[in-house]
Amino acid sequence: MFHYPVAITIPLVLRTLKQHHQPPKTFLHFRTPFDLLVATILSAQCTDARVNKVTEKILYPKYSAPADYAEVSLRELEHDIHSCGTYRNKAKHIQAMCKLLIARHGGEVPRAMHELVALPGVGRKTASVVLSAAFGIHEGIAVDTHVYRVAKRLGLSRGRSPEAVERDLMRGTTPQDWGTLTTLLISHGRAVCAARKRACDVCPFQKMCPSSWAEGRKDRTRQDSRSSP
Ligand code: SF4
């Protein structure tokens, strides 16, 4: 049984991480909410850096509105996005999503979670990113692989699925902080608390974190890595 000198709470994590990282609202580059919706779909199982390369060099100069994506052949869209991985599914989803946006929403991105998740290829994580970064609407926390890992290692959640971790994080803070908490946990996961090598010796949580190897503790994510996003 560990005894920690200071209890780790989500407000403490927020305060501490704000002193160490200054992340943007989202790591994906976009001009409009629609761009962000497409970029977030492309970011599934792909790095943000790769998506930014594809959107800025290939997609944004060529496509601006849902009709642009809906009118090209599926083959052409697959070719344009192929380096983002799982490109066949992603191209199919993007075209279907664009057709539905035109048919149901006049080509505009809806501003409600239930309307966004009804679009092909759009899950709760994608919808949370778009609502928060494009509209400043906070309806959820986008639990990606970094958010999941860091939240579990810090003991902010014992959840065994992204949905359970999201619920714990939402309970522990106010909606205004959900977007910031997401990007701060991602920044910390990339820079310090990496998947393969956690740099506990330089981490501000090294003394209090229940997964700190610097204090002889085991990685809390080890036991349930199969359920991580
Ligand atoms: S102390 Fe180690 S395991 Fe805990 S958050 Fe920092 S880097 Fe991650």
Q: Is the CB of 184 under 6 A from ligand 1?
A: no
CA 221 / ligand 1 centre spacing (Å): 11
Where in the sequence numbering do the catalytic residues fall?
125, 144
Q: Is the CB of 199 under 6 A from ligand 1?
A: yes
Separation in Å, CA 76 to CA 17, 82, 83: 42, 10, 13
Q: Say what the pLDDT of residue 6 is.
A: 61
pLDDT tens for 61-106 read 999 999 999 999 999 999 999 999 999 999 999 999 999 999 999 9
33-135 CATH, one of 3.90.45.10, 2.60.40.680, 1.10.340.30, 1.10.1200.10: 1.10.340.30
Residues 222/198, Cβ–Cβ less than 8 Å: no
Q: Where in the chain is the domain with CATH 1.10.340.30?
A: 33-135
Q: Is the CB of 181 under 6 A from ligand 1?
A: no
CA 163 / ligand 1 centre spacing (Å): 22
Closest atom of ligand 1 to 213 CA is 2
Q: Is the CB of 203 under 6 A from ligand 1?
A: yes
10-23+141-227 CATH, one of 1.20.1250.20, 3.40.1350.10, 1.10.1670.10, 2.160.10.10: 1.10.1670.10
Return the number of other C-beta atoms located less than 10 Å from residue 5's C-beta. 6
CA 6 / ligand 1 centre spacing (Å): 15
- Residues 6 or more apart whose CB falls under 8 angstroms from that of 120 comprise 92, 93, 96, 97, 100
Q: Say what the pLDDT of residue 7 is.
A: 77
CA dist 49 and 31 (Å) reads 16
Q: Say what the pLDDT of residue 228 is.
A: 57
* Token pair of 56 as six digits: 């800025």
Q: pLDDT tens digits for the chain (229 residues)?
A: 444 456 799 999 999 999 999 998 899 999 999 999 999 999 999 999 999 999 999 999 999 999 999 999 999 999 999 999 999 999 999 999 999 999 999 999 999 999 999 999 999 999 999 999 999 999 999 999 999 999 999 999 999 999 999 999 999 899 999 999 999 999 999 999 999 999 999 999 999 999 999 999 999 887 665 455 6
If you search the block for the tokens 């006049």, which residue do you land on?
Answer: 106
